[in-house]
């Protein structure tokens, strides 16, 4: 396995994969080794820095992004956790940011990869625009102007939250307004650029509202406000052409949304809405109310792509908790083993061995989230080569579930143990050792998630099978009896707990001895049951 790139003091930040490359830098998905969390790391591309002036420009842009993000302080802007901004060492200049899982608004507008421009349902478009307004209201209060608002800089996270990215070229009004371009080029994107920005006139929060109007027009119609073969043509239209009313492009758009979009696209800034809050208020009648049902993502071209997070969720279920029910892990379809070339099998064996070793090392250092992801990465490859039910694939999945459980991520470990138990029961039988072990771990997860009744039932069902096979005094049976007794105790079922633990203590005295650590632990529990206020055994 190739050595991962590390940056920061003592190699704190580990770079896993490059996820984006732009004109000035690259963005990597990585891990913070201290906090064991996924991060995004923005790095300067050394090859684009050819002069001290460029180094200074990029340093200031990174510094500005870090400071603006910190000052905005809104969940709709990915947070910056760390920044190294020494222009003398620009090859080591970086930002460490919140890693957001989701898709860009650009991908949503192109049918998630099918290439055809589409418009979103009205409730989706309005929900996205309203969330952008919220972010802009916080930024403009500083005041900060984004200056490059466009679908590429807007992300829909998996929970439906809209994130506004790239405040690196933002302008802090009333402070240092030196241009952030060494070439004198206009900053921004011609499809979404307000006339005053094209004309190098005064940039204000109203400039962002024009760009928002361009985005809203595209959300509802599926096409940009203006089109052309060159930036010059596009800029000329922004300066002098009138946009097409939305209802001529899509008749079901409400008339007041058409009016709002045209107001946002006014050539003169003073003719636009007063601020982002006013825009939000004019959008709000079209937001889905709390408790309303989800609107299906049916595009205006009739398609229905998958994988686009629902931006209406934050309005339909505001501040909602995690789902109560835990979906079962997907059951892979049975696969027919295929011959594996020796070279591929050798490479796979090496990859699996390295993943086990790397995961074990990470888990030993308390980095359970990354340890689980290391295994997850090789599971997909192994399953595609060997088949989903190959023993090596199942072993990798068991190890990953065990790592998740060790790290306290019972919510993700449970469906994996349930799925594995079902596979083992189907292929090896309900009394198979692997089946029972996975069921036992699933019961532990349920207990830790507060699902006491289900956990007790599963513990007891597994104990019945184990007792039939090996008796009540086997190591596994003793562990199950202890789990049942402790869970009954924690649920306040004191008499039942005492009966289970008393019998367990008698057996442990015979098998392990009265002074054994585990025997004394059960004795302590019994003492607490019989006299909650009394002294504890030493």
| 401 closest CA partner among 387, 385, 418, 388 | 418
End-to-end CA, the chain: 50
| Spacing of C-alpha 84 from chain mean position | 25
Per-residue b or e along 75-100, where b marks 16 or more CB atoms closer than 10 Å to that residue's CB = ebbbebbbbbbebeebeebbbbbbbb
Calpha distance 477→465 (Å, rounded): 10
Catalytic residue (one of 148, 310, 373, 418): 148
Of all helices (H) and strands (E), which one includes residue 97? strand 94-98
Task: Clarify whether 148 is annotated catalytic.
Answer: yes
Residues 6+ apart with CB under 8 A from 294: 310, 312, 313, 316
In eight-state DSSP terms, residue 186 is P
Helix (H, G, I), strand (E, B) or coil at 426: helix
- Rounded CA-CA distance 369/148 in Å is 35
Please report where in the chains the tokens 């086990």 appear, as a residue.
356
Q: Let me know the angle formed at the C-alpha of 217 by 170 and 252, rounded to the nearest 5 degrees.
A: 155
CA 320 – CA 278 distance, rounded (Å) = 26
In this structure, what token pair is assigned to residue 332? Answer: 């892979």
Q: Residues 251, 256, 258, 260: what is their CA dihedral angle, to the nearest 10 degrees?
A: -170
Maximal CA-CA distance, the chain: 93
Catalytic residue annotation: 148
């Amino acid at each position: 396995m190739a050595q991962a790139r590390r940056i920061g003091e003592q190699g704190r930040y580990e770079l896993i994969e490059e996820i984006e490359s732009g004109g000035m830098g690259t963005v990597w998905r990585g891990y913070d080794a201290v906090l064991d969390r996924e991060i995004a790391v923005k790095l300067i591309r050394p090859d684009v820095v050819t002069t001290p002036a460029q180094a200074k420009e990029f340093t200031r842009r990174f510094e500005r992004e870090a400071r603006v993000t910190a000052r905005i302080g809104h969940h709709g802007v990915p947070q910056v956790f760390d920044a190294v901004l020494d222009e003398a060492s620009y090859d080591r200049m970086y930002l460490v940011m919140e890693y957001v899982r989701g898709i860009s608004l650009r991908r949503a507008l192109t049918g998630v990869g099918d290439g055809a421009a589409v418009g979103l349902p009205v409730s989706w478009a309005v929900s996205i625009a309203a969330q952008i307004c919220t972010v802009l209201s916080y930024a403009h209060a500083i005041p900060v102007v984004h200056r490059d608002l466009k679908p590429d800089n807007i992300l829909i996270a998996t929970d439906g939250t809209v994130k506004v990215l790239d405040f690196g070229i933002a302008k802090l009004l009333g402070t240092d307004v030196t241009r952030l371009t060494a070439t004198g080029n206009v900053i921004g994107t011609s499809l979404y650029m307000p006339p005053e920005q094209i004309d190098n006139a005064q940039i204000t929060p109203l400039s962002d509202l024009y760009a928002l109007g361009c985005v809203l027009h595209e959300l509802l119609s599926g096409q940009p406000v203006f089109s052309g073969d060159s930036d010059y043509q596009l800029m000329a239209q922004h300066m002098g052409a009138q946009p097409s009313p939305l209802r001529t492009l899509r008749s079901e758009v409400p008339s007041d949304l058409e009016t709002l979009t045209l107001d946002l696209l006014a050539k003169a800034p003073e003719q636009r809405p007063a601020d982002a809050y006013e825009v939000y208020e004019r959008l709000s009648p079209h937001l889905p109310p709390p408790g309303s049902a989800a609107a299906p993502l049916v595009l205006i071209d009739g398609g229905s792509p998958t994988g686009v997070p629902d931006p209406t969720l934050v309005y339909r279920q505001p501040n909602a908790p995690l789902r109560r029910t835990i979906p079962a892990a997907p059951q892979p379809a049975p696969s027919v083993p295929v011959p594996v070339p020796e070279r591929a099998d050798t490479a796979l064996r090496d990859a699996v061995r390295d993943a086990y070793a790397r995961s074990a090392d990470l888990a030993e250092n308390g980095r359970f989230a990354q340890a689980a992801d290391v295994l997850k990465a090789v599971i997909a490859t192994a399953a595609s080569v060997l088949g989903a039910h190959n023993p090596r694939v199942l072993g990798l999945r068991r190890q990953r579930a065990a790592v998740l459980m060790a790290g306290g991520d019972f919510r993700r470990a449970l469906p994996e143990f349930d799925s594995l138990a079902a596979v083992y029961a189907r292929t090896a039988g309900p009394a198979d050792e692997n089946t029972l072990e996975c069921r036992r771990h699933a019961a532990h997860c349920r207990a830790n998630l507060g699902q006491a009744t289900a956990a007790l039932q599963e513990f007891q069902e597994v104990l019945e099978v184990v007792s039939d096979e090996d008796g009540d005094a086997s190591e596994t049976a003793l562990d199950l009896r202890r789990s049942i007794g402790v869970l009954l105790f924690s649920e306040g079922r004191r008499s039942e707990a005492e009966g289970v633990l008393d019998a367990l203590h008698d057996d442990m005295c015979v098998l392990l001895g009265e002074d054994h650590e585990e025997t004394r632990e059960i004795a302590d529990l019994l003492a607490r049951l019989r006299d909650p206020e009394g002294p504890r055994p030493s």
